[in-house]
Structure 1
Amino acid sequence: MSFAYHAYEAVHMMVGPMRGMSDAMHLAFKNPANPLTYTPLGRTVAASCELFERATRRYGKPAFGLGETTINGVKVAVEERVVWERPFCKLVYFDRKIQASRRKPQPKVLLVAPMSGHYATLLRGTVEAFLPGHEVYITDWVDARLVPISEGRFDLDDYIDYVIGMLQKLGPDTHVMAICQPSVPVIAAIARMEAESDPCAPRSMTLMGGPIDTRRSPTAVNQLAMERGTDWFRRNCITVVPFPSLGAFRQVYPGFMQLSGFMAMNMDRHVTAHYDM
């Protein structure tokens, strides 16, 4: 088992004083009263300090920020509500405040967001596109470091049970869309519901960007998994949440490792995107 999470937390604490110094220098070289602010040296120092701050910042969960949508040319307020909740996930409903006299039945769609190192707000644009013509629900996965170990584990079986529970909460005639990582648990959940003749089995299922049979058109990730094997990933990727987090001692595959891996596979693309900014 890896102790990468402990090292990550230690480094974050160690750079704390450096972040303070960097912030002070950034303010100094952005100050209009400082003559160096208007020189190439001043702009370079200010930009370098800002880049260091962004690279070492611990980013919080962003908001969806979808306060309204447009339906048939009319702006309608939107309110986020949690309609189903378990220790590792909340089901968020985007309640469109349509007048009762103008409300018409519209399709229900459940967006199953990836939990692999991302927040559900990664799908903000997808939610926004669906809002004018659908009742939209999305899975809002809880950071495992915030879930006490007393709540038990969360594995593939639990993932499938969660998806089934949400579909049963929403009832019949729900459409489900799984984006990337949840494709496998979603198709497994629906297969089980169909096998049991569950009346809440979804009306349609859409899988986007999630490999179902990794033997077909294997990607670099699939090939690496075949080369390394399960034991290698267990030793090098699974670590424990450090104290004093609420989920201390829980075994996880940390999000920072997942995101680092994704970026490493397309480093040129990320560097180019940053440069173009």
Structure 2
Amino acid sequence: MHYYAYELAHTVLSPLRVGVSGLRSILDMPFNPFAMTPYGRHLAAACEFFENVTRRYGKPDFGLKTTRVGGVEVDVHERIVAATPFCNLVHFKRDENALTGIRHDPKVLIVAPMSGHYATLLRGTVKAMLPDHEVYITDWSDARDIPLAMGRFDLDDFIDHIIQFTRVLGPDTHVMGVCQPTVAVLAAVAHMASIDDPCQPASMILMGGPIDTRRNPTAVNKLAESRSLAWFENNVISTVPLPHAGFMRPVYPGFMQLTGFMTMNLERHMNAHVDLFKNLVKGDCDSVKQHQDFYDEYLAVMDLTAEFYLQTVKTVFQDHALPEGTMTHRGVRVDCSEIRDTALMTIEGERDDITGIGQTQAAHDLCSNIPEDLKVHYMQEGVGHYGVFNGTRWRTEIQPRIREFIRAVEYERGDLPNGRTARRMHHPAVAVSPV
């Protein structure tokens, strides 16, 4: 019923939006003297404000057209190199003709979270990695656009996608899990190690993820534990209505996830929109654009399949199955101690209110057979959850450490047959915070 009420609200508001849009067009006419009056400016600001808070926000573009490699600006083209009904593996292909000399930059698979926002939320992550890496990202599909005939998609399928895409990229791939998918990345690498897969990743970088939510639990963790799985199924799961292609698919709607995000910091979001109105009245275009750029991304949400959402809640947040040693993938227990040849780096934010300090670092205890000098942990001061993978601290402090970590792994594996056996790292650049 939630979804139908949501669609009904948009339908009811549609005629009003048309009227408001027409009024705004009149007020924007250059020869309208009324538009220059204080009342006219307030009315025009109110019209734009109303349109911003009531419109649908579609999937944004990555918009990464160029990057700088070795001081040279080169074009970037998005290429889909593998696809399933639920995800595209996107390669940000740099123009080889513009590159100076032959480059053998490391392959990095960025596993984007499937937690309500599109993969474009990691635009800043990709942008910072592009100059020194061949970057690929999992671009998850919106469940409401996937016909029910395409089948289910749960946490096991998510793990399978990571394994499949890692094999597509081949040996010596570095896998980076951002936030929610860190658990799936660790499980995928453990599975590949257990079968001695020749495409085991050279390294895995786990950033701000809920490996063990019993450590410094946050409000999000406590909410997941305080409710039964049946409560989540009865209160947040809906079926996709017409006219969407995924009609009748059970989903966790993106707008409900967004509501949860917004209410966690409701006062801040309300103040931001009050400031938007004031800046519209003043004509402060820079501030308005900055606000709109952020919220165009933040308010663009996607639906998750119900089975993926519910299995994640139970496995990760309620049963703590991975740190307890009871997590299974396709009926086989996930054993992180099987991982021996994949280097591990974990990154946390000091002010993260989604994933508490220590939750990601827990991966080091689980991966007991990775040599200690193949493990690195780094805690970034002064950043919250979003700042772990976006923003100034990400670009200037976190990403350079990841770059040096990957380079050190590449250096140590470079003279080994097929890169199959990792050796211990003694590169001083990666010794930022040994475990």
Instruction: Tell me by how many angstroms 1:101 deviates.
Output: 7.4
Instruction: Tell me by how many angstroms 1:254 deviates.
Output: 0.8
Comparing 262-271 with 166-175, greater Cα deviation is found at: 262-271
Comparing 65-74 with 155-164, greater Cα deviation is found at: 65-74
What are the within-5 Å matches in structure 2 for residues 93-242 of structure 1?
Answer: 93-99=91-97, 102-242=101-241
Deviations 1:226-247 (A, max 9, x none): 1122111110111100122111
Task: Name the amino acid aligned to 1:244.
Answer: P
Residue identity (%): 57
Matched pairs, number: 275
1:91 counterpart SS class: strand
Output the CA distance in 1 between the equivalents of 2:18 and 2:216. Answer: 48
Could you tell me which residue of structure 2 aligns to residue 61 of structure 1?
A: 59
Output the CA distance in 1 between the equivalents of 2:115 and 2:55. Answer: 20
Output the CA distance in 1 between the equivalents of 2:184 and 2:13. Answer: 39
Output the CA distance in 2 between the equivalents of 1:30 and 1:104. Answer: 51
Q: CA RMSD in A?
A: 1.4
Task: Name the amino acid aligned to 2:216.
Answer: S
Output the CA distance in 2 between the equivalents of 1:133 and 1:101. Answer: 13
Deviations 1:36-95 (A, max 9, x none): 211221111111110111111112221111111111111111111000100100000011
Could you tell me which residue of structure 2 aligns to residue 42 of structure 1?
A: 40
Instruction: Tell me by how many angstroms 1:139 deviates.
Output: 0.6
1:90 counterpart SS class: strand
Comparing 16-25 with 224-233, greater Cα deviation is found at: 224-233
1:181 counterpart SS class: coil
Output the CA distance in 1 between the equivalents of 2:54 and 2:235. Answer: 23
Q: TM-score, normalised by structure 1?
A: 0.95
Which runs of 5 or more residues in structure 1 are unaligned?
none
Alignment partner for residue 20 of structure 2, among 22, 40, 58?
A: 22
Instruction: Tell me by how many angstroms 1:114 deviates.
Output: 1.4
Could you tell me which residue of structure 2 aligns to residue 92 of structure 1?
A: 90
Could you tell me which residue of structure 2 aligns to residue 259 of structure 1?
A: 258
Instruction: Tell me by how many angstroms 1:135 deviates.
Output: 0.4
Deviations 1:92-134 (A, max 9, x none): 0011112387222111101111122211111111111111110
Q: Is the 8 A contact 2:70 2:100 kept in 1?
A: no
Output the CA distance in 1 between the equivalents of 2:199 and 2:235. Answer: 40
Q: 1:70 and 2:68 equivalent?
A: yes
Comparing 177-186 with 152-161, greater Cα deviation is found at: 177-186
1:15 counterpart SS class: helix
Output the CA distance in 2 between the equivalents of 1:259 and 1:187. Answer: 27
Q: TM-score, normalised by structure 2?
A: 0.61
Could you tell me which residue of structure 2 aligns to residue 248 of structure 1?
A: 247
Which runs of 5 or more residues in structure 2 are unaligned?
277-286, 288-435
Q: 1:27 to 1:226 in 2, by over 3 A?
A: same
Task: Name the amino acid aligned to 2:141.
Answer: V
Instruction: Tell me by how many angstroms 1:200 deviates.
Output: 1.1
Q: 1:5 and 2:3 equivalent?
A: yes
Which 4+ runs in 1 deviate beyond 3 A? none
Output the CA distance in 2 between the equivalents of 1:125 and 1:29. Answer: 36
2:175 counterpart SS class: strand
1:206 counterpart SS class: strand
Q: 1:209 to 1:269 in 2, by over 3 A?
A: farther
Task: Name the amino acid aligned to 2:171.
Answer: P
